[in-house]
Amino acid sequence: MRRKDLSTAVDEDENEINLTPMLDVVFIMLIFFIVTASFIKEVGIDVNRPDAPITNVQNEEENILIIIRPNDEVWIDRRMIDPKALRANIERLHAENPKGSVVVQANKASTNKMLVTVMDAARLAGVYNISIADNT
């Protein structure tokens, strides 16, 4: 009986898979890829880009700044303007500086109706370059 027990123990050892050689091969492959990856040089060309042309940046003085407050008050040049007089004021400022554009700083709490009113007045005054800025 004892002999039979020894044979079953030997059979169990033979049925196990030895993973040591496989791990050795994996580590050797890993080292190979790490070493070869550091020596690979990517091919490319050097590009000499031309300098960008100088653009004409408008000064803030050239722009007509219109501020819409949260309570729908309209301010131009630190003066509160009646919405009915918007067109006349924009025409006057645009006549002083025809290159200027209109910048509208509308507060988030202001209504869209007032923003549209200001934009319509600017278009009626002959200014079609209108920018909208956020004034929180």
Q: State the Cα–Cα distance between residues 38 and 68, nearest whole angstrom.
A: 60
Whose structure tokens read 């027990």? 5
> What are the tens digits of pLDDT across the range 63-105?
889 999 999 899 998 899 998 999 999 999 999 888 888 999 9
pLDDT at 63: 86
pTM of the model: 0.54
Q: State the Cα–Cα distance between residues 114 and 69, nearest whole angstrom.
A: 10
Nearby residues of 29 by Cβ (< 8 Å), 6 or more positions away: none
Is the Cβ–Cβ distance between 129 and 101 less than 8 Å? Answer: yes
For 64-134, CATH gives 3.30.420.270
